[in-house]
Structure 1
């Protein structure tokens, strides 16, 4: 493409497709950095990422082309929009081979946008060296791979799990994309009759749906090699049920966009040690530090906490990001003292097992996707009749959590739920939209004016319990 030089950013707005990996490796061959974008985002959210990253090129799938085209005129940096599978794409694909660009391990490879507590996405800069470190940790701490196996990409490429294609490519394993382009339990079981040595990455909610599917008990899972799960807590009951149904084929990982898929892991072997006295406690943990990674738990002043006591989880290693794109303040704050401050709270035991107590405290994890309350709250506050609001997550049997909004109207004003729904759909992705709006007179607050989200969660719990008990 004219005007594109090594170091430029190439965005991808697509669901899982063969072209996705072609674009990734083609971009790296040319010395470009890949900017993956969640295909479920709102066009305005796409626009923010494209502008912030300074992306010159955006590869897009047919189903997202109209949304990207609508915003393209307002994005000065964007010079090319290429439709995957189009004649233009095929022309690029069949062009003359070129020598790989001269890049080293310190060059930017993957610019992954991960929301912070402010709700504004920040671009985590991952270098080629970071990705190589992730591969090395996978082989040492997660699973072995041989060329006879495959990985089925049922989780989005645009998430950190998409990077798991890299260790499988390195070892010559097949990459399989389900016909649905996503996750469907029946399709998973069908794929297991066709492919051998199959690995999946799944969010815990996906594992739960898989084992609770009507066809689960009769399904032949002999070709299943490994399910790597992570991205949210796994309920102990579901984990035990999965082990009973599938056998010792589970590996848990804990990571962040800033240290992709590579902080701790709970091995297949540890999942199978049912006779160990603290077996259930270990299953409730996220395992021990992966290869090449150091983990600490500290207090507010970065002093190490005693074993078993809760503090913030800190991480160090070659897998940790270079920093946040064009955000030196956030980089300095998050990487202070040479350690990645995850924002997650947890505790370490004497054997190095890390148990998470809260993933960024107010973070909502729905279907494996992160939803930060602040960005939803900021949209709701655009409504002229909303005085204040607070967003929390409540348990959902299929997705893990769903979004609930508490809304306080201005004096004498009325707020219609359908208007709030419309407002959200105009500004944020559909999956971030609250599934319930609870209109209340005032938000509970402490003496400093901070909203007490714990009380709001208790309110939802008691309300749901009362309603279920009164049916």
Structure 2
């Protein structure tokens, strides 16, 4: 089934129900939400775009986002949401790799200036082109999809310096959405989904089940994460649910403490993108109360590997409370989770190994990447690349990342792409990037640099990074060394770099 069918059904059943909000201002009810999606779909069809085609969205959070996303699906096409925080050159690479037929972008000129999207049409949401699309007579109903039809192309993490496009089918999105009801939280028409994290990722994936239940969809006036704004919106709108990275939760708790707030109006905060420090979630419970649910997932199994329930997080009287609080919960209803040894055999409780997951939410595969598919999809199981162990009660504890991926503030950062950016500086002859634990961001990026001459200043290195990659990816620390530690094959020993950093 086409996920946009849920929007069509809700609009028929509750056409006047409030749907899209900018802050506290109602922008559209469900009838208008569906009309906009249907009009976008018809306009795409008039351009010859439909099933089998891909349309990218490179936008920050806005009230335009969901009508565009559902309009693409309504046409039977595949949506390619791109993180709005990326550098235009990074986004252009994704658009090109996805062979997108059209791009919705805030700054079309910046996209075209990269020279990487060729003749692909690029439309701004406030342009005459989008106004004409919205004025098109809407498609009466969403184009039918089977469960195996591609619906969302999710560009996810890796260590190759380039993201991989995980093909999520209509069936994957439906399974993920229904698992939310079973394992994360119930949703009512009186609820409000607040989009403070990027709608291109976890926050946006949760829109579908809120559409199905006819809930409100709220984009903050700031378009992003402002703790004081969120606390105020929760008080005004009531029954607010949101997805947040652990660092966002920590900032929200700090803001609540500073103003003496208790989270009034917040219903549920789903946190993920990395486990929280136990001390941080304990403080969050003390300040905001039992409003938290943790999820563990990947773009390849979107938001849906394990969940640590509200009850588990809040049950301070349980003898295993602290141990469970340090875990990422138990398998989602639709997921089978195993921990495997190096040979791919299941390990007993307590033994660490690679985490694997199987279920109807797992991606179809990576776009045009048979080598990555062969490594990640083995015998029907997705090998996550993460190391952990299961306890006797089925709670999963993450130990470490098997890959060199850095997760800072809930965002994935590939070391190689940072290294490639820094190597553009003429004074940098060698560089190796690692992540190191940080109490605020979870991890921060540290670059070890070998220079051919006098070391450049921090401002110079920052500038060369922001000229090629998103600002949030640039290192927060530069360490200049005479040489990088290497093994006999010339490979940089990142473990030695971490030891060097600890010694310093």
Q: Is the 8 A contact 1:366 1:399 kept in 2?
A: yes
2:123 alignment partner in structure 1: 82
1:68 alignment partner in structure 2: 111
Q: Is the 8 A contact 1:217 1:245 kept in 2?
A: no
1:416 alignment partner in structure 2: 456
Q: Is the 8 A contact 1:294 1:315 kept in 2?
A: yes
Q: CA deviation at 1:210?
A: 0.9
Q: Is the 8 A contact 1:50 1:75 kept in 2?
A: yes
User: Match for 1:26 among 63, 68, 71?
Assistant: 71
User: Match for 2:448 among 397, 406, 418?
Assistant: 406
Q: Is the 8 A contact 1:199 1:226 kept in 2?
A: yes
Paired residues for 1:220-259 under 5 Å: 220-259=262-301
User: Match for 1:36 among 72, 77, 81?
Assistant: 81
Q: CA deviation at 1:361?
A: 4.1
When structure 1 is superposed on structure 2, of 282-291 and 382-391 the one drifting more is 382-391
Structure 2, unaligned runs of 5 or more: 1-43
- 1:111 match: secondary structure: strand
Q: Is 1:186 the equivalent of 2:231? A: no
- 2:430 match: secondary structure: strand
**Separation of aligned partners in 2, 1:263 and 1:302:** 18
- 2:429 match: secondary structure: strand
1:437 alignment partner in structure 2: 478
Q: Is the 8 A contact 1:192 1:198 kept in 2?
A: yes
- 2:196 match: secondary structure: coil
Paired residues for 1:112-151 under 5 Å: 112-151=154-193
When structure 1 is superposed on structure 2, of 226-235 and 3-12 the one drifting more is 3-12
**Separation of aligned partners in 2, 1:221 and 1:5:** 44
Structure 1, unaligned runs of 5 or more: 464-471
**Separation of aligned partners in 1, 2:392 and 2:179:** 22
**Separation of aligned partners in 1, 2:132 and 2:426:** 50
Structure 1 length-normalised TM: 0.93
User: Match for 2:496 among 447, 451, 455?
Assistant: 455
Q: CA deviation at 1:3?
A: 3.0
- 2:174 match: secondary structure: helix
- 1:193 match: secondary structure: helix
Q: CA deviation at 1:60?
A: 1.4
Paired residues for 1:65-464 under 5 Å: 65-71=108-114, 74-76=116-118, 78=120, 80-99=121-140, 100-213=142-255, 215-216=257-258, 218-410=260-452, 413-417=453-457, 418-463=459-504
Q: CA deviation at 1:395?
A: 3.3
Deviations 1:377-436 (A, max 9, x none): 2233344443322111233343222211001234xx334144433332222111111122
**Separation of aligned partners in 2, 1:336 and 1:215:** 47
Change (3 A) 1:391 1:74: closer
Deviations 1:429-464 (A, max 9, x none): 11111122111012223455443323322332343x
- 2:248 match: secondary structure: helix
Deviations 1:351-380 (A, max 9, x none): 110000113442211111001112212233
1:11 alignment partner in structure 2: 56
Q: Is the 8 A contact 2:108 2:123 kept in 1?
A: no
1:48 alignment partner in structure 2: 93
Q: CA deviation at 1:331?
A: 1.2
- 2:177 match: secondary structure: helix
Length, aligned pairs only: 457
Q: CA deviation at 1:244?
A: 1.1
State the superposition RMSD in angstroms: 1.7
Q: CA deviation at 1:36?
A: 0.7
1:469 alignment partner in structure 2: none
**Separation of aligned partners in 2, 1:307 and 1:253:** 20
- 2:461 match: secondary structure: helix
Q: CA deviation at 1:222?
A: 2.9
- 1:408 match: secondary structure: strand
**Separation of aligned partners in 2, 1:216 and 1:106:** 49
Q: Is the 8 A contact 1:56 1:77 kept in 2?
A: no
**Separation of aligned partners in 1, 2:174 and 2:145:** 14
Q: Is the 8 A contact 2:159 2:403 kept in 1?
A: no
Deviations 1:47-82 (A, max 9, x none): 210110000110112xx33311313x542361x211
When structure 1 is superposed on structure 2, of 352-361 and 128-137 the one drifting more is 352-361
Structure 2 length-normalised TM: 0.87
When structure 1 is superposed on structure 2, of 280-289 and 401-410 the one drifting more is 401-410
Q: Is the 8 A contact 1:210 1:216 kept in 2?
A: no
Q: CA deviation at 1:5?
A: 2.9
**Separation of aligned partners in 1, 2:487 and 2:242:** 45
When structure 1 is superposed on structure 2, of 260-269 and 439-448 the one drifting more is 439-448
Q: CA deviation at 1:160?
A: 2.5
When structure 1 is superposed on structure 2, of 100-109 and 222-231 the one drifting more is 100-109
1:467 alignment partner in structure 2: none
